[in-house]
Amino acid sequence: MVKAGSITSLEQIFSMGKSIEENGIVDALLPNINSEVVEIRSVQRMTSNNRKQKFRVTAIVGDGNGHVGVGAAKDVEVKAAIDSAINAAKRNIMPVVMGCGSWQCTCGQPHSLPFITRGKCGSVEVLLKPAPKGLGIVASKHVKRMLELAGVKDIWSFSKGRTRTTYNVLMAVMDAFQHTISMKNLEDFNKSK
C-alpha cells in the first residue's frame, strides 16, 4: 500500500489501527529519521559446555517531529545486533501527541505534552510533566535524547525504580506516550458529540 502510493503518512497507518511490519515503510514515509544506539551490553548464558556470549543493544529512532521508537536486539556480533535493534525500533515507532499543557505557559504552541502522563515498565515508573516554553528538557541522559528525537522541547521528567535498566526506562517513556494517545482531548470530545 505504501509502495503503491495509497498511504502517504504514518498517521494514516495509525488511524487504521494497523501495525508496521517492515522497517522499509518507516524509511519511505520518514526519510529524515535519526537513529541512536543507547546501550550495548554483554549478556551470557551457561550451557553444559561453556558460556555463550551475546551482545544486547538498545536503540532509539525519531524524526524530531512527533514520532519515536525504541528497539532492542541480541546477537553474537555487535554490528548485527545494532542493525537489528534499529530495525526493531523502526517497527515500534509511534506518534507523540504534542501540546502546551503547562499552567505557567499559555502560548498554545506544541512544544511539550498536553498534560501530565505516567508510564511503567518493570519496576521503573516515569512521570512526564509539561513545562513552560524556554525551560528545556529536564531528564536523565537517555530519556533526554529520546525526548529530543520525539520533538519535545520543554518537559520535566521524574523516574523511580531501578532506573539503571536503560531499556525499562525507555519503555516506560513509550508507555507514557501511549497514554497520551489513548486520552481524548477536549477538541476530539466536542467533535464526537
pLDDT in tens, 76-121: 999 999 999 999 999 999 999 998 888 888 787 888 999 999 999 9
Around Cβ 130, how many Cβ atoms within 10 Å? Answer: 23
Residue 16 falls inside a structural domain: yes
The pLDDT tens digits of the residues spanning 50-74 come to 899 999 999 999 999 989 999 999 9
Do the beta carbons of residue 71 and residue 89 sit within 8 Å? Answer: yes
Among 95, 125, 154, where does a domain finish? Answer: 95
Query: Residue 190: its pLDDT value, please?
Result: 65
Placement of cell 558460556 in the chain: 51
- Does some domain include residue 15? yes
CATH number of the domain where residue 137 is located: 3.30.230.10
How many structural domains is the chain composed of?
2
What CATH number is associated with residue 89?
A: 3.30.160.20
* Range name among 10-24, 117-131, 154-168 with the lowest pLDDT average: 10-24
pLDDT, residue 12, reads 81
Report how far Cα 3 is from the mean position of its chain's Cα atoms. Answer: 25
Tens of pLDDT, residue by residue over 144-190, are: 999 999 999 999 999 999 999 999 999 999 999 999 887 765 566 56
Dist CA 75 CA 37 (whole Å): 15
With respect to residue 4, please indicate whether it lies within any of the assigned structural domains.
no
Indicate if 138 and 185 belong to the same structural domain.
yes
Domain that holds residue 147: 117-191
Contact 102, 112 (CB under 8 A): yes
For the entire predicted model, the pTM comes to: 0.88
